[in-house]
Structure 1
Amino acid sequence: MALTLQEFTYSLDPKALPRIIQIQSGIYFQGSVYEMFGNECCLPTGEVIKIIGLNISKLSAEIQKEGPGSTCIELPLDYPGLFKIVADSEAYYTIGDIVKSLHICQNRLGQPVFKSTVDITLSNDTIQQGETIMFTSLGERNSEQFVNTEVMRKDKKHTFTLPLSQQGEFYECEDDQFYTLKEIIEWKLPKGRKRAVNLAKTSAIKEFTFCELPENFKGELTLTPVYELQAVMKFRKDIVHIPSSLDVEVIDVTDKYDINSFVQPLSINDIFNRPGNNFPIVAEIIEGPEHTVESLKFLKSCKEVIIHQAFQAKRILASEIRSDAQKHFLIPCTYNGKFKRRPREFPTAYDLEIAKSDKEQLHVVATKAFESHYEGLETVFVGDQFLVQHRKTSEVIYGGTQKTVEALACERIEGKVYEPVLIPMCMEGGFVEVIHDKKQYHISEICHKFHLPFNVKVAMRDLSIGEDILATMLGLHLEEEITEPCLLITPLKNLSECWEIPVNRIKMSLQLLHRPDKGTEPPPVKTVVEEISEDCYYTLRRYVNATLHPPPRPPKKPLQPPSKSFKLEVPQPKRPDAPSSPKSPHVNPLKPFKPIKVVSPELKNATPQYEFMKITATESNLQKVRSSEKLTKEEDDDGHDYEYIDQDEVEDIRKKFQEKHTENKTNCKQRTGNQYEEHM
């Protein structure tokens, strides 16, 4: 039975590809033009076509206006934003309907969640009305398909298998996750239904993408996919793209034709999944990638390549250290540049406990004050310096009641004096790391010796790369070590080069030809540092975090502080305690206010030949140090001098701080005197 191309497209199951169709009623574009704008526009009657893929070429987005009517716009597939999905209000009446409509697999994005409006009675249990049912994977037993599901009950996971014939009334649950448009297209567009979404976040690079979406749009969009078919013709070697909207009629003749009589193009993902004994092999590039990094541009012009092997390559996911418009990178472990450490920032004491290492002692400066409501645990002032030890359980008094709480054992540094203290694990303070290590490290050494995340900057660029994009960064935040599937490829026109081609981020089609000559060994692998988009970054972070168990939550701070506690002025220069008096029995005597000077003492557990700067305990001075460091880096950037600040520059900074302290000393003493009078 003949179908229109649109009807055939909607009925096509991607899992059943390839299919062979024959044109029953053809269409010609102006009688002679065969291909236009990269799409097949003319299909003569009787032509036989092999359909090898089904893609979404664009999205039609319907914008609901206030009042009657709506507006339809075209939303580009590479629109740089994050979306939240609106739950489908239309019911599914069988499990089979859900399986046919949505992509279900073991990938976390392919695990939709539904609720049933009626009880589902099974042989050994009952799924109650309103319980959330997560569809995790498909299975088959005795030629009957079923779906594996999970139901959470009192923090315990219960698994069930439901046949596709199971009837009921199922509604999609609300989803609080954010998705890129590409993820929605791949995982969250139900077949035969529209998908409503809300725009949650727009990327900073939106201005470089042409889009008809109104500026600062905050409403709801209803997405409808527009499909195109990837096909192979009888007498053509390349892959053609056929719009599903062409006015032609087709019939499925797969059972009457030999599929192998057509060209056999394979995606690099198909090649990656082939057995290991298939490699090495020579392949012809049928369709090269549309977008790729500069160093892999040869894939667009190269005709034949040697595929040496398929493997999992290690990458370090990194971000530029800056507050706005961050750049994100994937750094291979073969990167030959060297890094030196940069201070890390820790928002809580809990983060300090996670970051501490057995190989070196963590030394930090407090950048935010925190008042402890526990008697027995220390109050932290801006500028306090600590050597972090370990977590400890401590007996404290809170509101006149003795309690057992988690605390962080540290040593507070007062000049050359080291005082053991306990600070609350629940403190919502802030700390910045003090670095004593001036060594330079390869990225593999960093992953081996230290815990990620980790802050670094390039000290010596990779000379094997023409333009090392990492060398221009003021600082890098190394976040996670990930693995991604890759093919090791050498172009036949240049056998001295070998490249790692990421399977999931480059789309191209190849045809396998023959085995290479014996003795063709892969040359050394070329290093490629990739700058990735924000969408790709969030996608990689999502997959990484999905494989990790979340850490336990840090303890919460007390809800109601004791009535006799003393409220600190935040921030204050350095430990201005109020004097003891009959009205305030739990407050320590006032110490004379002394601005902390820039000195260079030798610390316990620190390498003797290295000095560190003890920064003045005010947030403004900490900001000046960061600004000075940034200025120094920018001035030296043209010469690519990534060495530490020399001693003359340190003396210059020290003089500036001393002048600033002298200027503010009178004001600080006057302010401290006013505080003394208030508390008396």
Structure 2
Amino acid sequence: EEITRKVSIGPTRLGHPCFYCNKDIKLANFTIKQGEQIMFNSVEEVNGTLTVNCGVVRDNQSHSFTLPLSQEGEFYECEDDHIYTLKEIVEWKIPKSRNRIVKFTNMLHTWDSSNPLPENFDGCLILAPIYEVQGVMKFRRDIVHILSDLDIEVIDVTDSYDISCFLQPLSMEDVFERTSKEFPMVAEVIEGPTGRQQPYNLLCPGKEIVIHKKYQAKRILASEIRSDSHKRHFLIPASYKGKFKRRPREFLTAYDLEIARSDKEQLHVVATKAFDSPHAELFSVSVGDQFLVQQRQTGEVIYQGRKKVIDVLACEQILSEAYKKVLLPMYMEGGFVEVIHDKRQYQLSELCKEFRLPFNVKVSVRDLSIEEDVLAAMPGLQLEEETTDSYLLISSAGDPADSWEIPVYRLNMSVQLLSKSVAETVSSPTRTIVEEISEEQYYMVRRFENQALHPPPRPPKKPTTLESKPLLTLAERSVSDAPHAVKLHLGNYDPLGTQAGIDVYIFLKNKGHIVPFASTFGGEHLCASPLMC
């Protein structure tokens, strides 16, 4: 019960805090283990008793259960490494009347001259919220902002006044949290959204609208293809009627070729970067070589005088009059560009069904139902992933059949509910928009999607004979020697019980590139996350 009072629990992923208990919690047919992460999803009333819908994940399987508010125990909030905006931390991640310690990141925002933090600041921040009271005056149609520490006396006169005389503004989030039984509802726009695009330009203050229902809808997250960092990002509805043609994809490693490989058609690529194989059994690539990607398999190479089995990518090299089977190491760092033979035009739904995202396209036929199709002006788009978000279906009170879909969490708009009845008359197809989102909103959308995380490719193991050299510290190695590999022998520290020392190979690169890192335990490779050098 204390958790539900102190922490926001709501319908979004931000409203799903995670806690753990310092002791086992035994339920009727389920036991929550000590220290196991419990996700709080929602608060509901079951048979007259308030309960919290919870979930735990075990062996990649999700298990759902409920806990009564009377459940006792010492609960601690779990740490996470997600990125949050300041608004999200204040609204969802700071318990009421509490402070919050956070780590600052400038990944999503470049400070201007007004940066309040010291130069190269890399510490933690204590966030102490300063609250503001939002009030309304009788018969006024706007919102008054009052500082909570204003030194005035306040008298509660609630019982003496009719609350219905006052404006009661609701945000889109507030409306979405209403139960499904309360829809449809009539509302008056108090503060409208900014934007010239329909229906935003129609939602001006004083406009009466009908909010028909709430639901989850799918979108395709897409980004403009361009060489600089000023990419534009879009959320494309499945109802988009434009047509697309395929654009070539670029691949940095042989591992990426394996991920993009499809059973429906053979992947045809041209090498844009040379690669000198460290093993005679594997193929050395020259710029301009063309390949048909076949499949991943294993192959034998001679490494330090001994046979070793490694993962390779089998391809067919396209020669002038023949095909030659070659093997590329999976860790190969190179460059490839796709050769497109398909001239067909696709609907968005066909692309998502037939091909694996991410996928490169260009609009070949614009959506004629849109007054200004912003996607048609893009030189190329990368369809990145399918997302799901919360939407409200609205229409003008004067024309309930002309309905629009509006996003809940990206639309700064407030309304007041009116005590008017409305019949459900939506019959025509729902009108949707291609929504352009900011860089910050783009990362906020991406961070919650369950992406298929693939391990990084293995670094090359060149069969070189190492002479006996004195051991050096990393500080004693000149940075000007990079790129090079350094071997760190860490004695007999053996967490995996292999009864062998550990050789750690770190491959350094200039210019701040992300490079793979791997260590060997008793001859077996264990890949860790990419490091930033």
TM-score normalised by structure 2 residue count? 0.70
Alpha-carbon distance in 2 for matches of 1:121, 1:278: 40
Tell whether the 8 Å contact from 2:187 to 2:211 is kept in structure 1 after alignment.
no
Per-residue deviation, 1:498? 3.1
Tell whether the 8 Å contact from 2:55 to 2:62 is kept in structure 1 after alignment.
no
Residue in 2 that maps onto 1:440: 345
- One-letter amino acid matched to 1:417: A
Tell whether the 8 Å contact from 1:330 to 1:531 is kept in structure 2 after alignment.
yes
Tell whether the 8 Å contact from 1:375 to 1:398 is kept in structure 2 after alignment.
no
Structure 1 residues 308, 110: closer, same or farther in 2, change over 3 A?
closer
Per-residue deviation, 1:412? 1.1
Tell whether the 8 Å contact from 1:347 to 1:430 is kept in structure 2 after alignment.
yes
For structure 1, the 5+ residue unaligned runs are 1-94, 566-680
Q: Which moved more, 1:522-531 or 1:408-417?
A: 522-531
Structure 1 residues 126, 290: closer, same or farther in 2, change over 3 A?
closer
- Deviations along 1:277-300, one digit per CA (max 9) or x if unpaired, are 65555x132423343453212112
Alpha-carbon distance in 2 for matches of 1:456, 1:156: 35
- Deviations along 1:47-105, one digit per CA (max 9) or x if unpaired, are xxxxxxxxxxxxxxxxxxxxxxxxxxxxxxxxxxxxxxxxxxxxxxxx94x66544456
- One-letter amino acid matched to 1:454: F
Per-residue deviation, 1:478? 0.9
1:368 aligns with 2:273: yes
Residue in 2 that maps onto 1:319: 223
- Deviations along 1:300-351, one digit per CA (max 9) or x if unpaired, are 2452123344333332111111231221111222323322221111222222
Structure 1 residues 252, 324: closer, same or farther in 2, change over 3 A?
same
For structure 2, the 5+ residue unaligned runs are 467-533
Tell me, what secondary structure is at the counterpart of 2:149? coil
What aligned pairs does 1:291-370 form with structure 2 within 5 A after superposition?
A: 291-292=194-195, 294-295=197-198, 296-301=200-205, 303-322=207-226, 323-370=228-275
- Counterpart among 243, 247, 252 of residue 151 in structure 2: 247
Tell whether the 8 Å contact from 1:232 to 1:263 is kept in structure 2 after alignment.
yes
Tell whether the 8 Å contact from 2:269 to 2:336 is kept in structure 1 after alignment.
yes
- One-letter amino acid matched to 2:455: R
- Deviations along 1:470-525, one digit per CA (max 9) or x if unpaired, are 2332221111122222222222456674321112222322314434468x444444
Tell whether the 8 Å contact from 1:367 to 1:432 is kept in structure 2 after alignment.
yes
- One-letter amino acid matched to 2:147: P
Residue in 1 that maps onto 2:364: 459
Tell whether the 8 Å contact from 1:302 to 1:493 is kept in structure 2 after alignment.
no
Tell whether the 8 Å contact from 2:139 to 2:165 is kept in structure 1 after alignment.
no
Structure 1 residues 178, 277: closer, same or farther in 2, change over 3 A?
closer
Tell me, what secondary structure is at the counterpart of 1:350? helix
What aligned pairs does 1:24-173 form with structure 2 within 5 A after superposition?
A: 96=2, 100-103=5-8, 109-110=14-15, 120=23, 136=40, 166=73
- Deviations along 1:428-469, one digit per CA (max 9) or x if unpaired, are 332211112223223222222222111112223333333332
Residue in 1 that maps onto 2:295: 390
Equivalent pairs counted in the alignment come to 455
Alpha-carbon distance in 2 for matches of 1:277, 1:197: 39
Structure 1 residues 343, 105: closer, same or farther in 2, change over 3 A?
same
Per-residue deviation, 1:426? 2.5
What aligned pairs does 1:542-621 form with structure 2 within 5 A after superposition?
A: 542-545=447-450, 548=451, 550-554=452-456, 556-558=458-460, 560-563=461-464
- Deviations along 1:624-649, one digit per CA (max 9) or x if unpaired, are xxxxxxxxxxxxxxxxxxxxxxxxxx
- One-letter amino acid matched to 2:192: P
Tell whether the 8 Å contact from 2:400 to 2:426 is kept in structure 1 after alignment.
no
Q: How much identity, in percent, do the aligned residues show?
A: 49
1:510 aligns with 2:416: yes
- Counterpart among 302, 325, 330 of residue 420 in structure 1: 325
Tell me, what secondary structure is at the counterpart of 1:360? coil
Q: Which moved more, 1:284-293 or 1:410-419?
A: 284-293
- Deviations along 1:17-52, one digit per CA (max 9) or x if unpaired, are xxxxxxxxxxxxxxxxxxxxxxxxxxxxxxxxxxxx
Structure 1 residues 454, 188: closer, same or farther in 2, change over 3 A?
same
What aligned pairs does 1:192-207 form with structure 2 within 5 A after superposition?
A: 192-201=97-106, 203=108
Residue in 2 that maps onto 1:541: 446
Alpha-carbon distance in 2 for matches of 1:212, 1:540: 26
RMSD: 4.2
Structure 1 residues 400, 223: closer, same or farther in 2, change over 3 A?
same
Alpha-carbon distance in 2 for matches of 1:143, 1:236: 40
- One-letter amino acid matched to 1:332: P
- One-letter amino acid matched to 2:416: L
Per-residue deviation, 1:371? 3.9
Per-residue deviation, 1:352? 1.5
Per-residue deviation, 1:374? 4.6
Alpha-carbon distance in 2 for matches of 1:471, 1:371: 42
- One-letter amino acid matched to 2:371: G
- Counterpart among 372, 376, 385 of residue 471 in structure 1: 376
Residue in 2 that maps onto 1:484: 389
Alpha-carbon distance in 1 for matches of 2:10, 2:399: 40
Tell whether the 8 Å contact from 1:320 to 1:475 is kept in structure 2 after alignment.
yes
Tell me, what secondary structure is at the counterpart of 2:203? helix
Structure 1 residues 191, 293: closer, same or farther in 2, change over 3 A?
farther
Alpha-carbon distance in 2 for matches of 1:276, 1:146: 19
- Counterpart among 174, 185, 188 of residue 93 in structure 2: 188
Residue in 2 that maps onto 1:672: none
Alpha-carbon distance in 2 for matches of 1:542, 1:325: 20
Residue in 1 that maps onto 2:192: 289
Alpha-carbon distance in 1 for matches of 2:204, 2:296: 56
Per-residue deviation, 1:194? 3.0
Structure 1 residues 106, 268: closer, same or farther in 2, change over 3 A?
closer
Tell whether the 8 Å contact from 2:401 to 2:426 is kept in structure 1 after alignment.
no
Tell whether the 8 Å contact from 2:274 to 2:286 is kept in structure 1 after alignment.
yes
Residue in 1 that maps onto 2:484: none
Alpha-carbon distance in 2 for matches of 1:490, 1:105: 26
Structure 1 residues 148, 499: closer, same or farther in 2, change over 3 A?
closer
- Counterpart among 408, 431, 437 of residue 532 in structure 1: 437
Alpha-carbon distance in 1 for matches of 2:359, 2:24: 52
Tell whether the 8 Å contact from 1:499 to 1:526 is kept in structure 2 after alignment.
yes
Tell me, what secondary structure is at the counterpart of 1:556? coil
Structure 1 residues 226, 420: closer, same or farther in 2, change over 3 A?
same
Tell me, what secondary structure is at the counterpart of 1:538? helix
Tell me, what secondary structure is at the counterpart of 1:471? helix
Tell me, what secondary structure is at the counterpart of 1:351? helix
